[in-house]
Structure 1
Amino acid sequence: MAAQIRVVMKSFVSQSNRVSELMPNAKKIGLPESRALFTVLRSPHTDKKSREQFSMHVKKQFLEQKVEAHELRKKVLLVKTPACAWGSV
Structure 2
Amino acid sequence: MLWRDLTQVTHIKLSLFSRQEQHTLVSTDSYKSCSSPLFLSTLLSFSLPLSLLLVVVSLNTCLVYSTLGVLFHNCCWLLLKQL
What TM-score do the two structures reach when normalised by structure 2?
0.27
More RCO (CA 8 Å, sep 6+) = 1
What TM-score do the two structures reach when normalised by structure 1?
0.26
Question: 1 or 2, which has the higher strand percentage?
Answer: 1
